[in-house]
Structure 1
Amino acid sequence: MSDDPPVVLVVEDEPDLADLYAAWLGGDYAVRTAYGGEEAIEELDESVDVVLLDRRMPGLSGDEVLVAVRDRGIDCRVAMVTAVEPDFDIVAMGFDDYLVKPVTREALADTVENLARRNEYDSGVQELYALASKKAVLESEKGRAALADSDEFRDLDERLSRLREELDEQVDELDEHDDFEGAFRDLSDGEDDDDEPEFDF
């Protein structure tokens, strides 16, 4: 693994705010700033690990930048950092986390740290975190009645449950594999080089 700090791209059309985020994160990350959607597209490449993306920007919106990130197949984590209150349309969006402005320095730093760590996980675990984040955001912003009436939220909840079950099964299989390997190692460690292993049936 590289010793270089993760690269964070801050996309925000208010320069003072973009520069503030960059100052908050600059001690721990290699931070780039883009003061609009078009500039963000120019800055996007495979070296970017985390994108902090405003949704409402003149010209190319954050939603359009997000689509471009995913269409290009850039393997980075994306957090929407925006004043736009989340609605059920976020279920279909390809972001990993959602922060509603104003955000604190601590919240921003925690989010970037978590997203940078997620880059080390496989795609199934990354998806699990993204779905769980969307569910948590909607539950915090919407009332129970609205959640109960939403087909999008119901689908999200079902996808999350299915993915958890699939990952649980994979973990169980890995545990069984590790148990077998451990037992095999114990047998191997107990035998002499010139002896065949002895099994008691």
Structure 2
Amino acid sequence: MATTTPSVLIVEDEPDLADLYAAWLGESCEIETAYDGETALNAIDDCIDIVLLDRRMPGLSGDRILTTIRDRGLDCRVAMVTAVEPDFDIIGMGFDDYLVKPVSKDELRRIVEQLQLRSSYDEQLQEFFALASKKALLDAEKTDAELKSSQEYARLQDRLAVLRVEVNETMSELLKQDGYRQLCRDLTRDSILQESS
């Protein structure tokens, strides 16, 4: 599970509001603030874990900043924190979550925790599937005797076992959070419906 302190970029054109968000998150996160789109684009790099992004800003909009983040291939989570009510245009947007202002301190903290946990889960899954693929290849190409005598293969099996536990623990933590419980139910229901059709 995620244990490092996340770096959060708050992009908000109302400085008082950006500073308030920074104060709310400052104890548990490394915070940067940007009061306009150009400053935000200059601040976003591979070191930023989470971006809290206002959609409606003068000059460079939050939508354009989001597109630029995804075009650059930056591996950060983005939550839109905005007064813009969601419409069908959000379907094609590359954000991870969406909060409609006004937001409370608890909501903001919760969304940052969820995004950090999801990042951890993604990393765990990527490593798990990469190692599982290597194991499957070795299982197909090597004899049982070769596999049993290999220390590297034994370490691979051990790491896969550890990752399996970590992935399960992280998924359990995600499921404890109300929004993700419903999301997982929806995903399960949708996959069952697809299989039956």
TM-score (norm 1): 0.61
Q: CA shift at 1:27, angstroms?
A: 0.2
- Is the CA contact 2:15–2:35 (under 8 Å) kept in the aligned structure 1? yes
Aligned partners of 1:27, 1:33: CA distance in 2, in Å? 15
- Is the CA contact 2:79–2:97 (under 8 Å) kept in the aligned structure 1? yes
Distance change >3 Å, CA 93–CA 162, structure 1 → 2:
farther
Distance change >3 Å, CA 2–CA 92, structure 1 → 2:
closer
Q: CA shift at 1:165, angstroms?
A: 7.4
Per-residue displacement from partner, 1:47-94 (whole Å, max 9, x unpaired)? 111100000000100000000110011111100000000001101100
Partner of 1:35: 35
Partner of 1:45: 45
Distance change >3 Å, CA 98–CA 163, structure 1 → 2:
farther
1:23 aligns with 2:23: yes
- Letter aligned with residue 106 of structure 2: E
- Letter aligned with residue 16 of structure 1: D
Partner of 2:72: 72
- Is the CA contact 2:2–2:117 (under 8 Å) kept in the aligned structure 1? no
Larger Rg: 1
5+ long unaligned stretches in structure 2: 126-173
Partner of 2:81: 81
1:161 aligns with 2:186: no
Aligned partners of 2:62, 2:96: CA distance in 1, in Å? 14
Q: CA shift at 1:121, angstroms?
A: 2.0
Which has the higher relative contact order, 1 or 2, with Cα contacts under 8 A spaced 6 or more apart? 2
- Percent of aligned pairs sharing the same letter: 60
Partner of 2:151: none
Distance change >3 Å, CA 56–CA 9, structure 1 → 2:
same
5+ long unaligned stretches in structure 1: 137-156, 167-201
The number of equivalent residue pairs is: 139
- Is the CA contact 2:2–2:120 (under 8 Å) kept in the aligned structure 1? no
Distance change >3 Å, CA 165–CA 59, structure 1 → 2:
same
1:60 aligns with 2:60: yes
> Of Structure 1 and Structure 2, which has the larger fraction of its residues in helix?
2
RMSD of aligned residue pairs (Cα, Å): 3.3
